[in-house]
């Protein structure tokens, strides 16, 4: 299927989601593993509405690391969508990415940074990137709309051509801070 074929109408005010979804299609990402979260809900909805896409709701984020490994074993591509607090659940499973050397693409919606109002989000928000970097996962930050395409393409290339763990990190500066 061509990348721009049958893109569903976006049901979100965030026009960048359609752009990101088109880039994911272009890179043949067909499987989306996620723990439900407001930060990834609209992207999950786009994937659910598109023919040929599969979404898998997880009970915890580390299941998504194993899911991505399995998808890679059958020659397909997956994305793991999670909030920064979910990164803390994945520490031990990140060793699978590094040890088995399989490509892993993640989209991380940050909490605990720019404009955060929930004090419980700061600890993991500040620890998420150092934790990923310690496990060899490359972060590609998006702080503004002008950075999204370049960062998404770089992260997807690092994962699926370079064979690394790569995370597209959507900052609160980019997404907007949640009120709680």
Residue 114: DSSP 8-state: T
- Low-confidence winner among 12-16, 160-164, 170-174 (lowest mean pLDDT): 12-16
Count structural domains, the chain: 1
Residue 143 CB partners (closer than 8 Å, separation 6+) = 171, 173, 174
In a domain, 9, yes or no: no
115: left (phi over 0), alpha (psi -120 to 50) or beta: left
pLDDT, tens digit, 9 for 90 and up, residues 133-164: 999 999 999 999 999 999 999 999 999 999 99
Rounded Cα gap, residues 106 and 137, in angstroms: 9
pLDDT at 12: 37
Q: Which residue range is the domain that position 140 belongs to?
A: 16-175
Question: pLDDT at residue 131 above 70?
Answer: yes
In a domain, 5, yes or no: no
Assign residue 121 the CATH number of its domain.
3.40.50.970
pLDDT at 175: 85
Question: pLDDT at residue 10 above 70?
Answer: no
pLDDT, tens digit, 9 for 90 and up, residues 28-61: 999 999 999 888 999 999 999 999 999 999 999 9
In a domain, 10, yes or no: no
Rounded Cα gap, residues 88 and 72, in angstroms: 23
pLDDT at 2: 37
In a domain, 103, yes or no: yes
pLDDT at 179: 63
Confidence label for 8 from pLDDT (cuts 50, 70 and 90): very low
In a domain, 46, yes or no: yes
- Do 164 and 103 form a contact (C-beta atoms < 8 A)? yes
Rounded Cα gap, residues 60 and 8, in angstroms: 28
- Closest C-alpha to 71, from 33, 25, 106: 33
Q: For 13-90, where are the alpha helices, taking DSSP H only?
A: 16-26, 41-49, 61-73, 84-87
In a domain, 3, yes or no: no
pLDDT, tens digit, 9 for 90 and up, residues 65-124: 999 999 999 999 999 999 999 999 998 999 999 899 899 999 999 887 877 777 788 778
In a domain, 11, yes or no: no
Q: What pTM, to 2 d.p., does this model score?
A: 0.89
In a domain, 8, yes or no: no
């Amino acid at each position: 299927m061509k990348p721009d074929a049958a893109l569903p109408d976006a049901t979100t005010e965030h026009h960048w989601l359609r752009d990101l979804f088109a880039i994911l299609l272009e890179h043949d990402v067909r499987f989306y593993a996620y723990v439900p979260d407001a930060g990834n809900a609209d992207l999950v909805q786009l994937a659910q509405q598109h023919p040929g896409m599969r979404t898998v709701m997880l009970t915890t984020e580390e299941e998504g690391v194993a899911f991505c490994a399995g998808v890679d074993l059958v020659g397909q591509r997956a994305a793991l969508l999670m909030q920064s607090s979910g990164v803390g659940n994945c520490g031990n499973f990140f060793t699978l990415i590094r040890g088995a050397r399989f490509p892993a693409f993640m989209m991380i919606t940050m909490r605990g940074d720019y404009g955060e109002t929930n004090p419980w989000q700061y600890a993991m928000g500040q620890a998420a990137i150092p934790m990923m970097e310690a496990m060899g996962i490359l972060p590609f930050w998006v702080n503004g709309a002008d950075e999204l395409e370049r960062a998404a393409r770089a992260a997807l290339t690092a994962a699926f051509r370079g064979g690394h763990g790569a995370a597209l990190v959507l900052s609160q500066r980019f997404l907007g801070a949640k009120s709680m």
